[in-house]
Amino acid sequence: DGGITQSPKYLFRKEGQNVTLSCEQNLNHDAMYWYRQDPGQGLRLIYYSQIVNDFQKGDIAEGYSVSREKKESFPLTVTSAQKNPTAFYLCASSSSDRVLNSPLHFGNGTRLTVT
Amino acid sequence: AQSVTQPDIHITVSEGASLELRCNYSYGATPYLFWYVQSPGQGLQLLLKYFSGDTLVQGIKGFEAEFKRSQSSFNLRKPSVHWSDAAEYFCALDSDMRFGAGTRLTVKP
């Protein structure tokens, strides 16, 4: 079955360390997204990519970096510059760069805890 | 500026009662609107979507939503809530997928 896989489900890191969250999709979708979810704040867009080797900042990109070397993969690195990295991170994809007729398909998320 | 607002952070209903979750949007043209549901610790699942045409949209799990341009609203409804509907619900707007803050639904037995 096609879908989006985020790994790992839980991730623990020490403050000051960079950490990379994995997101892989086999839906043949062009666009991929990273969201951060905090209680009471809904989903906030970190980065998105409409095509391989191209990506754009979302609303809260500071302290994060991404790459899109392959269509099916969109890893997110949480750097030590991110002041409050502990959160639930969701990856999503859609079949076009603008979801005018295509909703987002989500992975099951990675919960990152930084101490 | 585009935005979507869900005024209710938390709603509690009794099982079997009707449900309405509110969503208001701000957008200069015809919006494309979505409702998603999220179970604890999981990703989001699409419930329904509105692009144009009929203002009453049917979705999965017995949900429906009504688009009202005059009120800039896209409220989600269900006639009879089941205990399994307890979850967080998100309204989302258009192609850059801006989400509301979510409404957490609790279902009382």
pLDDT 10s digits, A37-86: 998 778 999 999 989 999 999 999 999 999 999 999 999 999 998 999 99
Interface touch A99/B42, C-beta < 8 Å: no
- Percentage helix, strand, coil, to 5, in chain B? 10, 50, 40
Q: How far is Cα B81 from Cα B106, in angstroms, rounded to an integer?
A: 10
CB neighbour class for A113 (10 Å; exposed up to 12, middle 13-18, buried from 19): exposed
Whole-number pLDDT of residue B95? 55
Of B70, B94, B88, B109, nearest to B11 (Cα)? B88
For residue A103, name the pLDDT band (cuts at 50, 70, 90): confident
Provide the percentage of residues in chain B whose pLDDT is more than 90: 73
CA distances from A50 to A7, A58, A72, A104 (A): 22, 12, 12, 13
Provide the percentage of residues in chain B whose pLDDT is more than 70: 97
How many distinct helices (H) and strands (E) make up chain A? 0, 11
Give the mean pLDDT of chain B: 91
Interface touch B99/A41, C-beta < 8 Å: no
A-interface mutation test, from B44, B45, B48, B60, most A Cβ less than 10 A away? B44
